[in-house]
Chain A
Amino acid sequence: MSPSEKTRRLSAMRPGASGRVLRVMRENPDRADRLMALGVTPGATVTVLQRFPGVVFLCDHTELAVEPAVARAIVVELE
């Protein structure tokens, strides 16, 4: 598989899909820092639980709810 098929924005992942965080886009540094503090760092395992009305995902054992713009900034390598 080419890398583009294996990597996805978290916002584009289906509920139930999981993978590892590849990177967090830094166009908004505050957001990236906050995500990092909550454990969303490269290498962390994420599983998408729900997409509507907000994105909810599991990162390790932390359940996080975020708005779509935030989910778009998380790049995940699918398993």
Chain B
Amino acid sequence: MKILAVTSCPTGIAHTYMAAEALQIAAKELGVDIKVETRGSVGAENEITNEDIKGAHAVILAVDTKVDEERFSGLPIVKASVKDAIKDAKGLIQRAMAMEKKEYVDKVFEAKKESKEKITGAYKHLMTGVSYMIPFVVAGGILIALSFMFGIKAFEEKGTLAAALMDIGGGGAFSLMVPILAGFIAFSIADRPGLVPGMVGGVLAGKLGAGFLGGIIAGFAAGYVVAWLKKVIKLPKTMEGLMPVLILPLLSTLIVGLGMIYIIGGPVAAINNAMANWLKNMSGGSAITLGIILGLMMAFDMGGPVNKAAYTFAVSTLAAGQPSMIMAAVMAAGMTPPLGVALATLIAKDKFTEEEREAGKAAFFLGISFITEGAIPFAAADPFRIIPSIMVGSAVTAALSMAFKCTLAVPHGGIFVLPIPNAVGGLFLYTIAIIIGTLVTGFMISALKPKR
């Protein structure tokens, strides 16, 4: 009979290891095979593998910190504190031994689940990054929206509350969004050493204008670079202490940073220029075609380089407060992505996690405020279904806005500008265009997303 155990305490200096040793001593006395994973300040050691879980009878969690229980799903779990393990390790092991092993049918089901999890390993890393990013998007987005409530340009006045809110939301929370996404993707792949190159790569993605898609690339690159470095660098025992504090962070950050600047940075800049020129040439052609293209661009990377190109182009058409059809189409197309995902979380509840459904409510608020970033957590978690859906919705909205000849005289503001006199030309039809785009995106996501 084999028992697994995880020990972990808040400081991770002493109790984690005492509990582990106590369990090992008790197991020896009882003649039970045990494997104890310690999660202390050095990180996870003697890690439990899927192989271990398959062959185990039960698992003891002697922890005073939060540990991932999901990976043991299927195994009976004995929950305890490190204190319990130090005081009465024997009792814990006996309790674990007395646990009922799951039925055969369950095991088959678990095996299936496991193979599915293996395929979607990258998906797991992505989701880790996304779940850490969501609160940043929500907090930052709502603070920016609050700033707009004082007036669309209120934040430009230095020293006002509106300026402070914009600083906190935009300069603070939003600027951390991509670094956090990239950092925790890398963290999920390579544990603690992944965080540094991931976050630095994320910051560079932002600086280079590569947006959240650049951040995802940075995160995965950082994670796998660290994992690779860990494998290839062999140090004498006495120097091992240098690995986590000096060697891994330094080398991985250097590699990821250079990669971002020289491999990702160049093409991104070239694409940005090419798009700007191309849009300039397009503006002579059919208004509806231009609307479709701008809509697709606005939704493609939500605040990334493609989106920025479309937005900057639109702002440039706002010559001295002159209302612009292009500006109207672009703002509408930037509102529907978060609105569409928010709608999808309502009509297809069972296809989203609890966390995502909550984020959906925030996304609605961000959508009406023309903060396209509100859809990023959803797009990052499931890019191949979400991004096409929001692109189609935004294209429809922008094309309709052009067809209806709606105009906009301000560069930002979402629904807060709608009541301002003369800000929007063709208000009713403009609203219709936004609603239709939202419906398109919402229903398309609902149809494409698989059941969980």
A binds B: no
Mark B residues whose CB is within 8 Å of A.
none
Mark A residues whose CB is within 8 Å of B.
none
